[in-house]
Amino acid sequence: MSAAVTLAAAGRSVLVVEGRDTVGGGTRTAELTLPGFRHDVCSAIHPLAAGSPYLSQLPLERYGLRWLQPELPLAHPLDGGRAGVLHRSVDETADGLGADAKAYRRWVGSIAERWDDLAPMVTGSLVKVPRHPLVLTRFGLPALVPASRAGRTWFSTDEAQALFAGCAAHAFLPLDHLLTTSFALVLLAAGHAVGWPVAAGGSQAIADALAAHLTELGGEIRTGELITSLAQLPPSRAVLLDLAPRQVADLAGDRLSERYRARLRQFSPGPAAFKVDYALSGPVPWTNVACRRAGTVHAGGTADEVAAGEAAIGAGRPPERPYVLVAQQSLVDPSRAPAGQHTLWAYCHVPNGSTFDMTERIEAQIERFAPGFRDLVLARHVAGPAWFESYNPSYVGGDIAGGAHRGLQLVFRPTISVRPYHTPDPTLFLCSASTPPGAGVHGMCGHHAANAALASVLA
Ligand SMILES: Cc1cc2nc3c(=O)[nH]c(=O)nc-3n(C[C@H](O)[C@H](O)[C@H](O)COP(=O)(O)OP(=O)(O)OC[C@H]3O[C@@H](n4cnc5c(N)ncnc54)[C@H](O)[C@@H]3O)c2cc1C
């Protein structure tokens, strides 16, 4: 959608073709459990959208998009009623981390201060020369370090280490991998700079606002047209594909060389998601009170436990005690559930293609930090890797992050190239989460791909 808006705003005539009956992709909202309970099917929490250099400058509020900021962006509970807590303010966060206050200000506060310079760098193509080398040095060198080492070296309290590890685990990687620290630093800094908001009414509001903006710019959207061959598309000067590399290889046929298609097929998917959505009769009774005020809760235990869970996935095993990402949108958005009742969004990582049912393990982790949680469950909707792949073929084996973040694939996506949005066919472009900067609702893959087309075949 952001590619389409970029092209339409540049005066090009644009057609968006969507396989399903509604637009939205990873930002749909639906009544998955009971009538009146509106669940975010995929994305829920939007620091990357609110902090996106592209989306944040579009007039999306004119088309109904409204960010709601939870009282606290994030809490990470520990046994005994303790928690590491991310506040909007760096000082409050640091002060809550006791002996780690100074270290938090040094490693995270200094980056949060420079968010406006950092955001374009981390959401750009990482192969570009940085515009602010000083910021990149302050962020980039520490960001390279594996999160397990950085967390242990920089912080000494369980709370700070767990808060840091929980954010690093968004990498979908074992925490002893290079660059896992970058995920923690970006997400923590974004929490201070732009918050971790939810979209009023549900994430669908993001796609709907983009669609309305596109239509007003003259773009056309056709839904319910699944593309299985590029021959189905009308003639055009350029085609941008928001698809996994494997789908591109299948669809493109001999518009792309066999060699390039083989490279696309070599692109490895990452671990998968296993998600449970709940309709609840009341708010989650977290033992730690900060967790009751936080939009997001990372229910994963200590940093060592989070690391062990992610390492198990790296070794192909579903974790015994998963690191569970929990979102409590209805705390801040009453439109998500009937009065007094709540929705809960929870998922954990599992190996790609896993068929193991994680429902019990996810609930055990929530119950561990919120005794009595199970008594509130009115209904649940369970979505494992196979469900995600059938929901959207781009989620290969249930991978919701557009491909593994291992090694060079984190930076060079989907092939090793300094022109990641181009293909050997000058009229065919890639714009999915398998291109830089990767997954997340930030619109930057599409925006960069559209600019690549505008600078070449659409010039
Ligand atoms: C469970 C889950 C939780 C997530 N949580 C967050 C979060 O909290 N915050 C965040 O920022 N990100 C989150 N994400 C990631 C985010 O949703 C995605 O990275 C983002 O939506 C990718 O956007 P996209 O437009 O590139 O692709 P998509 O959103 O996948 O859109 C691609 C569209 O193409 C359509 N399509 C696919 N194949 C075809 C075809 N052959 N023909 C026609 N149409 C086709 C699909 O139906 C889909 O609508 C989450 C994702 C999941 C699944």
Higher pLDDT, 415 or 398: 398
What number of H helices and E strands is found in the chain? Answer: 17, 15
Is 264:248 a contact under the CB 8 Å cutoff?
yes
Joined together, the tokens standing for residue 66 give: 């409204």
Mutate which of 441, 442, 445 for ligand 1? The one with the most ligand atoms within 8 Å of its CB, which is: 441
Residues 6+ away with beta carbon under 8 Å from 334: none
Q: Is residue 107 scored above 90 in pLDDT?
A: yes
Give the mean pLDDT of 284-295.
98
25 Cα nearest atom in ligand 1? 49
Question: Which is nearest to 1 in space by CA: 270, 223, 187, 273?
Answer: 223
CA of residue 435 to ligand 1 center, whole Å: 13
Q: Quote the pLDDT of residue 241.
A: 98
Regarding pTM above 0.85, the answer is yes
pLDDT of amino acid 126: 54
Note whether 333 and 68 are within 8 A (CB). Answer: yes
Mean of all residue pLDDT scores within the chain = 95
> Pocket of ligand 1, candidates 15, 74, 187, 242: which has the most ligand atoms within 8 Å of its Cβ, to mutate?
242
What pLDDT, on a 0 to 100 scale, did the predictor assign at position 407? 77
Taking CA atoms only, the protein residue closest to ligand 1 atom 10 is 440
Residue 249 CB burial class (10 angstroms; 0-12, 13-18, ≥19): buried
> Which residue's C-alpha comes closest to atom 43 of ligand 1?
19
Q: What is the C-alpha to C-alpha distance for residues 265 and 415, in angstroms, rounded to an integer?
A: 10
Nearest to 113 by CA among 85, 141, 134, 84: 134
- Taking alpha carbons only, the member of 281, 426, 269 closest to residue 354 is 269
How wide is the angle at C-alpha 52 spanned by C-alphas 42 and 413, nearest 5°?
70
| Span from the CA of 291 to the centroid of ligand 1 (angstroms) | 28
Given a contact cutoff of 8 angstroms between Cβ atoms, the answer to whether 374 and 285 are in contact is no
**Cis peptide preceding 133, ω within 30 of 0:** no
Q: If pLDDT is split at 50, 70 and 90, which confidence band does 260 have?
A: very high
Give the span between the Cα atoms of 301 and 83, in whole angstroms.
9
Report which residue type is found at 24.
G
Q: How far apart are the first and last CA of the chain?
A: 20
Is the per-residue pLDDT at 139 higher than 90? no
For residue 74, report the distance from its CA to the centre of ligand 1, in Å: 23
- Residues 6+ away with beta carbon under 8 Å from 130: 121, 136, 140
Nearest CA to ligand 1 atom 48: 25
The yes-or-no verdict on residue 214 having pLDDT over 60 is yes
Question: Mean pLDDT throughout 409-419?
Answer: 85
- What residues are in contact with ligand 1 under a 6 Å CB criterion? 17-20, 25-27, 42-46, 48, 226-227, 242-243, 273, 275, 347, 388, 392-394, 400, 432-433, 439-441, 445
Best substitution site from 2, 17, 32, 43 to test ligand 1's pocket, by max atoms within 8 Å of Cβ? 43
Report the alpha-carbon distance of residue 147 to residue 183 in Å, rounded: 9
Structure tokens at 353: 């293609």
Residue 27 alpha carbon to ligand 1 centre in Å: 7
Name the residue at shortest CA distance from atom 6 of ligand 1: 43
Query: Looking at beta carbons, which pairs linking 57-64 to residues 24 or more positions away fall under 8 Å?
Result: 58/5, 58/210, 58/213, 59/213, 60/206, 60/209, 60/210, 60/213, 61/209, 62/213, 63/208, 63/209, 63/210, 63/212, 63/213, 64/201, 64/205, 64/208, 64/209, 64/212
Between the CA of 90 and the centroid of ligand 1 the distance, in Å, is: 31
Nearest CA to ligand 1 atom 16: 440
**Ligand 1 site-directed mutation target among 358, 394, 396, 445, most atoms within 8 Å of CB:** 394
CA–CA dist 431, 436 (Å, integer): 9
pLDDT in tens, 145-177: 899 999 999 999 999 999 999 999 999 999 999
pLDDT at 70: 98
Q: Is pLDDT above 60 for 350? A: yes
State the distance from the centre of ligand 1 to the C-alpha of 345, rounded, in angstroms. 17
* Residue 379 burial (CB count, 10 A): 12
Q: Which residues pair with 275 in a beta bridge?
A: 347, 383
pLDDT value at residue 113: 92
Rama region for 13: left / alpha / beta (φ>0; ψ in -120 to 50; rest): beta
Give percent of the chain above pLDDT 70. 97
Handedness of CA 315, 317, 323, 324 (dihedral sign): positive
Lowest mean pLDDT among 31-45, 101-115, 395-409: 395-409
